[in-house]
Structure 1
Amino acid sequence: MTTTIETNKLVMNSFVEFINTASEKLSEELISPNAVFFVPGQAEPMRGPAGYLAIIGMMRSGFPDIQWLLEDMIVENDKVAARFIMIGTHQGSFNGIPPTGKPIKVQAMNFYRLSSGKIVEEYGQPDFLALLQQIGAVPTI
């Protein structure tokens, strides 16, 4: 018999496959239709599988080759803390910044809540300052 913690670890490993492929099939399998995703800089949360696909689409519009690497994961009951590294190349417009061709390697700290083997909530905290510095939109200190 699998525990909630073991199930949530499996879900998160599948979630990495989902965010790296933007698979609609995986989005339906892994994300609750009522899920909410709190995105920095957005007044309203994104919702459900379509909302998460929109988040991925926003990142892929600026960084078509973006990949997320899961570096650390802590699971306790229905909560997951995850540290990702995002890597990619700035090949499209991102937040109004024209493509520079520069590579990025940026950390993100995200917190999830899961229920019945599906993600129901995410608070995402990518290091947007580092991203903007790496593409030359903000000076480095």
Structure 2
Amino acid sequence: MVGSAVADTRRLAASGSARCYRQILHGKDDYPLQGLIMTAESNKLLMSRFVEFINTADETLANELVAADALFYAPIRPDPLIGPRGYIEILGMMRSGFPDIQWTLEEMVAENDTVAARFTMCGTHEAPFFGVPAGGKKIQVQAVNFYRFQNGKIVAERGQPDLLTLLKQIGAISD
């Protein structure tokens, strides 16, 4: 993934769009994204920064990458969570049961303002989760999410983690 992002950045820099991509990869505030037309390729680069955010829950990255009014639809709630705080709430819910959880971006496809991403979530069940007491079991679960970008920020996400597999892996339900 990293090698791919570097190659994409070099190619895009050669096309004259380097300013936007340096900001995406390095988070430099001296290259504002507001008003720039974001391409599918630049949105894919933003996803690399987003993975850093979800693996650290860094509030600075949250504010950099997530629009204040972004909507996050999760299968565990009837109403969307909103903005950077809403996304940090999702991460907090996952970390409450799996303090060491990490996401790996396995693949993504981008078109216009939308990125489809497949992740693998890995962690250890060290605290109660959905009412299931900690069992110390390792999880490895897939998730497919769709993100919509606008002005260099995520404005919507529809997440579909494989909750059935997760619940099986922690012993909440049997095979």
Partner of 2:113: 78
* Structure 2 counterparts to residues 28-47 of structure 1, below 5 A: 28-47=63-82
Partner of 1:89: 124
C-alpha distance in 1, partners of 2:129/2:76? 14
Name segments (4+ residues, structure 1) moved above 6 Å. none
Decide which of 126, 131, 134 is 2:161's aligned counterpart.
Answer: 126
The alignment status of 1:98 with 2:129, answered yes or no, reads no
The Cα shift of 1:43 comes to: 1.0
- Structure 1: state its 5+ residue gaps: none
Number of residue pairs matched by the alignment = 140
More strand by share: 1
The Cα shift of 1:41 comes to: 2.4
Q: Which amino acid in the other structure matches residue 112 of structure 2?
A: N
SS in structure 2 at match of 1:73: strand
C-alpha distance in 1, partners of 2:116/2:106? 11
SS in structure 1 at match of 2:166: helix
Q: TM-score, normalised by structure 2?
A: 0.78
Larger radius of gyration: 2
- Structure 2: state its 5+ residue gaps: 1-15, 18-37
1:27-72, Cα deviation, whole Å (9 max, x unpaired): 0000000100001020110000000000000000000000000001
Partner of 2:148: 113
SS in structure 2 at match of 1:75: strand
C-alpha distance in 2, partners of 1:116/1:10? 14
Relative contact order higher in (CA < 8 Å, ≥ 6 apart): 1
Decide which of 9, 15, 27 is 2:62's aligned counterpart.
Answer: 27
Decide which of 42, 52, 56 is 2:87's aligned counterpart.
Answer: 52
Partner of 2:42: 7
Q: Which amino acid in the other structure matches residue 165 of structure 2?
A: A
RMSD of equivalent CA atoms: 0.8
The Cα shift of 1:99 comes to: 0.4
Identity %: 59
C-alpha distance in 2, partners of 1:7/1:123? 20
The Cα shift of 1:9 comes to: 1.1
Q: TM-score, normalised by structure 1?
A: 0.97
